[in-house]
Amino acid sequence: MNTELDVSEIFSNYAFEGYVKVGSLIPKFIQEQTDEIADLVKKAVAGKDSRILDCACGTGVLLHQLALDDKINAELYGWDISQGMIKVAKETTHPSIKYSVRNAEQPETNMSFDVVVCKNALYYMEPERAFYSFSQLIAPEGHLIFTSLNRNADNIKLKLRLMRIGIYDSSVRPFFDALLGKIPLSDAIGSLRMAKANIQYQKLARATANQAIPLPRLHELLSANSFEVSEVREDHYVGTQYLIDAVKL
């Protein structure tokens, strides 16, 4: 695995050239993932004031969606190790969201949260250190909602399927939508440019990622840090990830 600096630099460049953001056309499969995680967050904080952290927030797409939901009464925080991601997030998302460049594995804060989300990022972290940090950040009865590569992550058929869906949603579907008058042609062209950059940066980013963590090991890490698993969805993100909701005891 490469260093934190390598990952930060890769994603800073990626933020400006190839990463989805509020105001750009978000591919359907990415929006579906965002919706699924947002639904778990809403379920976790239903009917109460809360504090929510997306600890690897990227350009803030999830937080922006939560900020616009009038059923959520929460302070929203976004952290990312990439200065570029945070810059784009501040420029494009809801002004109420509080962002900072910060490493979730070394949070250095006394704040506690009712929900911490870690989406598409655990495989860039050291698992033992990450779960310990999550346990320090989350209040009792709070939720950790995260994704992790599953046993199928290296399945070539699923990887190719995910690639096909990504290419279709990023490069083909937008032009059909433009022809049908659903979106401006300029959005479709912008999506194509973004998709080309995405391919380049995904190659760099994936080279820094860790291997999938077996589900029994995830249970061990959660239990060792005072979490109880509430829900596991094993076919998340075209069957290549777990989506897990765990409660802090």
Q: Mind spelling out the 3-state secondary structure of 37-95?
A: HHHHHHHHHCCCCEEEEECCCCCCHHHHHHHCCCCCCEEEEEEECCHHHHHHHHHHCCC
Residue 237 has pLDDT above 90, yes or no: no
In the numeric block, the tokens 């420029």 are attached to 91
C-alpha torsion 248→116→36→20, nearest 10? -160
The average pLDDT across 60-79 equals: 97
**65-69, 209-213, 216-220, 226-230: which has the minimum mean pLDDT?**
209-213
The average pLDDT across 9-31 equals: 79
pTM passes above 0.75: yes
Residue 165 has pLDDT above 90, yes or no: no
Does 168 or 135 have the greater pLDDT score? 135
Cα 82-204-239 angle, rounded to 5 deg:
95
Which pLDDT band holds residue 226 (cuts at 50, 70, 90)? very high
Residue 95 has pLDDT above 70, yes or no: yes
Any alpha helices (H) in 93-214, and if so which ranges?
127-137, 156-167, 173-179, 185-206
pLDDT at 153: 64
Which class is domain 4-153+206-248? alpha beta
**CB-CB contact of 46 with 69 (8 Å):** no
Residue 121 has pLDDT above 50, yes or no: yes
Measured CA to CA, the distance from residue 24 to residue 72 in angstroms comes to: 24
Which amino acid, 182?
K
Residue 210 has pLDDT above 50, yes or no: yes
pLDDT at 1: 43
Which amino acid, 220?
E
Residue 55 has pLDDT above 90, yes or no: yes
**CB-CB contact of 190 with 97 (8 Å):** no
The average pLDDT across 43-54 equals: 96
pLDDT at 2: 44
**CB-CB contact of 44 with 114 (8 Å):** yes
